[in-house]
Each structure stands twice: as C-alpha cells, then as structure tokens.
Amino acid sequence: MVVAGHGRHVWVETNDGKRLICHPRGKKSQTVVGDRVLWQATEDEGTVEKVEPRRNLFYRQDEIRTKAFAANLDQILILIAAEPEFSETQLSRALIAAEAEQIKVIIALNKSDLKAPFDLAWDRLGPYRDMGYTMLPLALKPRTNSELSGSNELTTLMPLLNGRTTLVLGPSGAGKSTLINRLVPEARVLTNEISTALNTGKHTTTSTNLYWSDTARTTAVIDSPGFQEFGLNHIDAMHLAGLMPDIKVHASECKFYNCTHLHEPGCGVISELKKADGTSGISARRYKIYSDLFTELTQKRY
C-alpha cells in the first residue's frame, strides 16, 4: 500500500510492514496514498508496476489541475473550528466531493471551550445535522507527552475511527496537526523519516501521509495538506442536486425531470423554500451555495 508520496516518489508499505521507496514506471506517477500497488524490487528500492482497482478516490478539480487526496477510504473526518470562522461553502464542496464517491463523512467542530463562538458555529451546522451527518464537538489543544495520558477528549471520536481508514481534512487553524499528533503521537517522527527518505525536507507539509494508530495496523489516519479552494469541475451541474441531501430530498417532487431548481415552475425545491410556515428543510444559505455552484459548473471552461 502507498503510505506517503511527494512528486514522483512514493513510500510503499508491504504486507509485512516493511517500507521502501518506489518510483513509477514511466514519467508520471499515477499513485496516491491508500492505493494498493504491485511493485518490483530494484536494488534497495522498487518500481510501481501496477495500481490495483480503487474502491474510491477523493479529489478536487479546478480549471488547471486535479488534486487527489487519497484512495480506498472508509470515511473522511472534516475538522473545522469555531475560530477562525469556517467557510460553509468550502465545507459543502468537500461534502459534495465525498458524496460523489459515496464516502462517509464525520464533521468535527473544534474549540468547544470557546463557548460563545462555538455555540454560534454549532447553530450554523444545524442543517448538516438535519441531513444526517455525524457531528462531534472537540476541544483540542497542543499538549506535552506527559499531559497526554488520561486525556478523554477523543473518547467519542476514537470508536468511529477504529478499524477504518480515515482521511483528515480541514483548513489551516482548525487544529488538524494537533489532532493528528494526538491520534498518532509519533506522527512527527514518522513525517521526518518520510521527509529524509524521499529527500523532500520541509516540503512534506504539502504531502499526504498515512499513519497507523494501532500496532495491529487496522486503524489508519491519513493527514492531508490544507487547502484554500476546493474545485468541483469534475461534477456535472445536473448531478449537483443529487449530491446535496437537503436539495435531493425535494428534487424528486419537481414537475420537470431536467429541472435546474433555479427558476422552473413546479419545482419541488423552490416550493420548499417558499413555505409560509418557515419549516423548510432547505436553509437560504444552502440554497445559495447550490445556485452559485450550479452557475459555476455550467460556466466552467473545458
């Protein structure tokens, strides 16, 4: 399995736990962390001969390039924080990309110790709870090794990770590095080893790494680089509603099969938004995210 990578080089872990550097067969690497590959030994390193079929691939795509995060995931943990204020648009984009690959998502909101901003942020996430996403409050703070013992901050999260491969995703400042180091105390050491082996130095902060959080190697945590934008150019605009659960549930009530849910008469989504009693299952913010994304995806350049 590919457990780390930077540029054309990847670090492959064999079934018995041995790790070695492998290079792609050809000029461009087609592998991502989480891939199962067939490799052939070349002196003290190896060559990737074939990438096995993937269960899924989580990625983003803009007008210039495609950025793959990881493959063969069981779930994605999206970590956001009460401060700095998270972008609901970026959260929604990540959720849509996960829905497209049928990958389960857990949303964790950090900094529950900041009561006022946390309460506001928790309320903002109400629509996502209503859609059925698993949501957890966290209060992560960097600690020394001696302070880690007896910590119960992750007691709710850990059972959700056990036995699964989880990609941790989140913007800068949300506490992702703190969470990774709490889940895998030796993560920094492993990252330095990867850095040295791949000769990437400080640039490992832009790479993706897989860590085992148990000695049996059954629970994997994948640390991903942060991002400022999350392009969805790989999503067809007419499929967008089906990837947003709160929109999807009412899209089946539309008069026309090819309804864009923007202006058509007899649209179930628009009718839901116009409910006089204010009990609509679609928030105005979520509908704006949908309409803005639909416009973006219909205007994208090929």
Asked whether residue 27 is marked as a ligand-binding residue, the answer is no
Asked whether residue 53 is marked as a ligand-binding residue, the answer is no
Asked whether residue 292 is marked as a ligand-binding residue, the answer is no
Asked whether residue 34 is marked as a ligand-binding residue, the answer is no
Cis amide bond preceding 84, omega within 30: yes
Rounded to 5 degrees, what are φ and ψ at 212? -90, 130
Asked whether residue 163 is marked as a ligand-binding residue, the answer is no
Asked whether residue 207 is marked as a ligand-binding residue, the answer is no
Asked whether residue 26 is marked as a ligand-binding residue, the answer is no
Asked whether residue 277 is marked as a ligand-binding residue, the answer is no
Asked whether residue 22 is marked as a ligand-binding residue, the answer is no
Asked whether residue 29 is marked as a ligand-binding residue, the answer is no
Asked whether residue 111 is marked as a ligand-binding residue, the answer is yes
HEC sequence for the chain:
CEEEEECCEEEEECCCCCEEEEEECCCCCCCCCCCCEEEEEECCEEEEEEECCCCCEEEEECCCCEEEEEECCCEEEEEEECCCCCCHHHHHHHHHHHHHCCCEEEEEEECCCCHHHHHHHHHHCHHHHHCCCEEEECCCCCCCHHHHCCCCCCCCCHHHHCCCEEEEECCCCCCHHHHHHHHCCCHHHHHHHHHHHHCCHHHHHHCEEEEECCCCCCCEEEECCCCCCCCECCCCHHHCHHHCHHHHHHHCCCCCCCCCCCCCCCCHHHHHHCCCCCCCCCCHHHHHHHHHHHHHHHCCCC
- Yes or no: say if 70 and 2 are a contact pair by the CB < 8 Å rule: no
Binding site as annotated, residues for GTP: 110-113, 170-178
Annotated binding-site residues read 110-113, 170-178, 254, 259, 261, 267
Question: Per the annotation, where are the binding residues for Zn(2+)?
Answer: 254, 259, 261, 267
